[in-house]
């Protein structure tokens, strides 16, 4: 209908460890409300439209046994949303491993990465700057990336993340 990329659907995968808040974020995007979630087995997929930009977002279960099948979702992915539970210091090392495994994957070589430092409402949580430093984001030169702090329960920070994504479209 429209020339150019306006009506194109941009594929997004939402990844991160179990309990990070991925499904909560997906449904905040879709409905602007907090839905009751249970651990995702497999995936949820929804179309999210932001100012004429259509994203097809795949929210993938993050439990350990499910992580080995994340790669079945990678083909044609334009954006990776990596959700981090900012209170979960113990498992940030595992998130880091998963991040660099993804960035090395052939099917994701053109993907841009948005990192959500989620659960900023929790007392004593890590800041986006701390997470950025721990994940050594500044060393990532072969993928565009952006980190955004957020709280999926209130929706704070989520729009800014989406805005960064829409700003990337057409850059490549």
Ligand X SMILES: Nc1nc2c(ncn2[C@@H]2O[C@H](COP(=O)(O)OP(=O)(O)OP(=O)(O)O)[C@@H](O)[C@H]2O)c(=O)[nH]1
Interacting residues with ligand X (CB under 6 A): 16, 18-24, 37, 39-40, 61-63, 83, 118-119, 121-122, 151-153
Of 23, 43, 118, 120, the one binding Mg ion by CB under 5 A? 23
* CB nearer Mg ion, residue 22 or residue 119: 22
95 binds Mg ion per the rule CB under 5 A:
no
* CB nearer Mg ion, residue 28 or residue 53: 28
Q: Which stretch binds Mg ion (CB under 5 A): 17-25, 48-56, 81-89, 164-172?
A: 17-25
Assign residue 73 a region (left: φ > 0; alpha: ψ between -120 and 50; beta: otherwise): alpha
6 is catalytic: no
Question: So which residues are the catalytic ones?
Answer: 63
Residues that bind Mg ion (CB under 5 A): 22-23, 40
């Amino acid at each position: 209908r429209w020339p150019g990329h306006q009506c194109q659907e941009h594929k997004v995968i939402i990844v991160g460890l179990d309990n990070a808040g991925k499904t909560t974020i997906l449904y905040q995007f879709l409905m602007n409300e907090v839905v009751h979630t249970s651990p995702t087995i497999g995936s949820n997929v929804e179309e999210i439209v932001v100012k004429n930009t259509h994203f097809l977002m795949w929210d993938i279960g993050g439990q350990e046994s499910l992580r080995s099948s994340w790669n079945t979702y990678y083909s044609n992915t334009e954006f990776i949303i990596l959700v981090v539970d900012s209170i979960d210091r113990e498992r940030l090392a595992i998130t880091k491993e998963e991040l660099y495994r993804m960035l090395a994957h052939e099917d994701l070589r053109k993907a841009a990465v948005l990192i959500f430092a989620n659960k900023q409402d929790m007392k004593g949580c890590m800041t986006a700057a701390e997470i950025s430093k721990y994940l050594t984001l500044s060393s990532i030169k072969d993928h565009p990336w952006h980190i955004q702090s957020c709280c999926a329960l209130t929706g704070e920070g989520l729009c800014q993340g989406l805005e960064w994504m829409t700003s990337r479209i057409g850059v490549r």
